[in-house]
Amino acid sequence: MAEDQGFRVLRAKATPGERDVRYGVVGQLLAPMDGLTDGSMKALTGQGPESRLPGLTELLRTARERPTLLAVDDVEWLDPASVRWFGALIRRLPDALIVLLLSGTGRSAPARAPCPPRRSR
């Protein structure tokens, strides 16, 4: 439905097997996205120098031009680097047209989701 409304939809599913893969879920989300720099893709796939928040700048830049829905399932299995990345994204949400939909089916209660709540200004 979001795509029918003109949103770019990026999806990912965290899994127990990827819990130790640095930026595993972030890589899933951003791989189909146009506009990623070569450096960001290499950082996401572990082939280049480590970037602090690979792909985040490109995502925010493109989301200013096209509304974007990020849908992530099973957030209880996010790797630590992806948790930090999502925390940084949440802090920057007011700067872009992004809807972030997180879901979980495991042990985590919503109040203990691995992403920090957005602070009000």
Q: Which one has a higher pLDDT value, 93 or 47?
A: 93
pLDDT at 41: 76
As given in the structure block, the two tokens for residue 70 are 């990020």
DSSP 5: G
What pLDDT, in 10s, does the model give residues 40-85?
A: 877 777 666 666 788 998 999 999 888 999 999 999 999 999 999 9
Read off the pLDDT band of 106 (50, 70, 90). Answer: low
CA R_g for the chain? 14
Q: Tell me how crowded residue 7 is: count the other CB atoms within 10 A of its CB.
A: 17
Q: Are 49 and 106 in contact (CB under 8 A)?
A: no
pTM flag (> 0.75): yes
Query: Residue 35: its pLDDT value, please?
Result: 74
